[in-house]
Structure 1
Amino acid sequence: MTCAAYRVDRRPEYRQDLGAIEAWIAQDNASAAIDMWLWIDGQVDHLADPNFPRRTSTRVNGAHELVAHENYIVYFDQNEDQCVVTVHAVVHVARITPPQFQR
C-alpha cells in the first residue's frame, strides 16, 4: 500500500524523553529548552510525509532513526499497511540506544 500521508503517533516514552531534555536544558536556559522541544517535535512532524527521508537504525533492530538535531536521535517504526509512524524515543547521541530497546 502506498501512503499519501502517515499518521504520527507519539508514545508516552517519547513525550517523557522530550520533557526530560527540556528540563535538562532549562536548568541553563529556559528559552533554549522550549526551542529545542519545538525543533525536535517539529522534525517528528515531518515523518507524516512519505517522501521525508527515513533511515533504518543500525543500533536498534527493526527500528528507524531520525537525526532530529545533531545531539538527538528519534527512534520510530512505521506500519505501511496502516500508514502509521510510531515514535518511541528521543535520546542524546551519547546514550546511543534508548533504554526500552536495550537488551
Structure 2
Amino acid sequence: MNEKALITSLLTIYDLALSYYEKQLSIQLKTLPANHFEFGVTFLNIGEIYKARNEFELALSFYSKANEIFQKASLLPTHEAVIELQQHIQTTIEKISHE
C-alpha cells in the first residue's frame, strides 16, 4: 500500500495518495502496536503531501504526529526517519516564513 501512495504522490495525484495513506493507517491500526514507528513514517509521508500542496500548517501537524510516534518508539536522533523528519520540518518552517 505504501508503494502505491508514494508513486501517486510522486505523480502529484495528491488526493489519491492521501486515500492510500488513509487506507494504510487503517491497516496499521489493526495490525501494529499503537506506537509502532511505521505510524510515524505514514504521518511523515502524509505531511509531505500537504507540504507539496502548500498546506504548510497541515504538514506541520502531521510532522508533529510523526515526531511523537518516533519519540514513543524510542528512535534515536541519528535514525534516518528522525533525520528526514527534522529536515522536512525545517524546510516547511522556511517556506512558511517566506509566504
| Higher share in strand | 1
Q: Tell me the TM-score range normalised by the shorter chain.
A: under 0.3
Q: When the two structures are superposed, what TM-score results if normalisation uses the length of structure 2?
A: 0.27
Q: When the two structures are superposed, what TM-score results if normalisation uses the length of structure 1?
A: 0.26
| Higher share in helix | 2
Structure with more relative contact order (C-alpha pairs < 8 Å, separation 6 or more)? 1
